[in-house]
Amino acid sequence: EVIIVDTPAAAGEWVAQRISALVAGKPDAVLGLATGSTPLPVYAALERRVREEGLNLGHVRGFALDEYVGLPAEHPESYRSVIRRDVVERLGMNAELVCVPNGDRDGINTAGERYEADIRAAGGVDIQILGVGTSGHIGFNEPGSSLNSDTRVKALTEQTRRDNARFFPSIDEVPTHALTQGVGTILRAKHLVLLAFGAAKAEILAECVEGPVTASVPGSAVQLHRHVSVVVDEAAATHLR
Ligand code: F6R
């Protein structure tokens, strides 16, 4: 299903409604958490429901999509910091129930396998929130990623490093690699919610949703999933047929 809404805030409400309904029936539901700008309206809408409507996310488990390799956990832009700040603390989640891949260089060769085992032990992800990069990546699965991949280290493209340089003092400080859930990992979630806002995402969104399924556009793999909601604003929808 493709849902075109007026504003990112309306998209946030749409997704928050789905998550609230899930959690009402399954208080220990498992959410797949994205970072970056795209999911922020979802977290804002959830925060309002927690504050004003008594939504309780305290038993919900969470798995982040990815983490930079070699950025210390306490760095303000590590996804461990971002998830703690923007998600766990704001939404009243239990930090012990929310996992982020461990991007420390020490143990990086086995970190992917361990993350896959943790997701399996939790029973898999119920709703996976996804943004898409202008390179076509989901998670940090850059073009050329196997559509069957598991969590592993990927090199970031120059384009992705430029896109994410806004979070760092300079592009030189953007890490070159990330530990990311694989495309296969993402496809094992029960429900995918792909979000995109703004004209800069219009072309790549159309490739993901309507183009050929190809490792050159890892986001196109969502077409292989049986339950995908694509929630976009008008600007991001302009290239859809
Ligand atoms: C974030 C992630 C990335 C972003 C993508 C879009 O955890 O895995 O795939 O969703 O880079 O980033 P924004 O939302 O900042 O445009």
Chain center to CA of 34: 2
Give the atom of ligand 1 at the shortest distance from the alpha carbon of 131.
10
Mean pLDDT of the chain: 98
228-233 and 191-196 as β-strands: parallel, antiparallel, unpaired? parallel
Angle separating helix axes 8-25 and 40-53, nearest 10 degrees: 50
Contacts 24+ apart (CB under 8 A), 109-118: 111/151, 111/179, 112/150, 112/151, 112/152, 112/153, 112/179, 113/150, 113/151, 115/63, 115/151, 115/179, 115/181, 116/150, 116/151, 116/185, 118/63
Q: What is the CATH number of the domain that holds 82?
A: 3.40.50.1360
pLDDT in tens, 120-169: 999 999 999 999 999 999 999 999 999 999 999 999 999 999 999 999 99
- List active site positions: 66, 137, 142
Task: Yes or no: say if 185 and 147 are a contact pair by the CB < 8 Å rule.
Answer: no
CA distance 217 to 196: 15
Number of domains the chain is built from: 1
pLDDT in tens, 164-219: 999 999 999 999 999 999 999 999 999 999 999 999 999 999 999 999 999 999 99
Radius of gyration of the chain (CA): 17
Residue found by looking up tokens 């490093």 in the block: 161
Res. 224 pLDDT band, cuts 50 70 90 = very high
ipTM: 0.98
Ligand 1: residue of 15, 33, 65 to mutate (most ligand atoms within 8 A of CB) is 65
Q: What is the pLDDT of residue 16?
A: 98
Strand ranges of the sheet holding 177-180, from the earlier edge strand across to the other edge: 66-68, 177-180, 152-155
For residue 177, list its beta bridge partners: 155
38 within ligand 1 shell (Cβ under 6 A): yes
Give kind and range of the element (H or E) at residue 128: strand 127-130
Domain extent at residue 77: 2-237
Q: What is the pLDDT of residue 104?
A: 98
**% of the chain at pLDDT higher than 90:** 100
Q: How many residues belong to the chain?
A: 241
Q: What is the pLDDT of residue 43?
A: 98
35 within ligand 1 shell (Cβ under 6 A): yes
Res. 28 pLDDT band, cuts 50 70 90 = very high
Q: Where are the alpha helices (DSSP H) in the chain?
A: 8-25, 40-53, 79-83, 90-91, 108-121, 158-164, 183-187, 202-210, 234-237
Mean pLDDT within 50-78: 98
Q: How far is the CA of 98 from the centre of ligand 1 (A)?
A: 18
The closest alpha carbon to 152, from 186, 179, 118, belongs to: 179
Q: What is the pLDDT of residue 167?
A: 97
Q: What is the pLDDT of residue 2?
A: 97
Q: How far is the CA of 34 from the centre of ligand 1 (A)?
A: 7
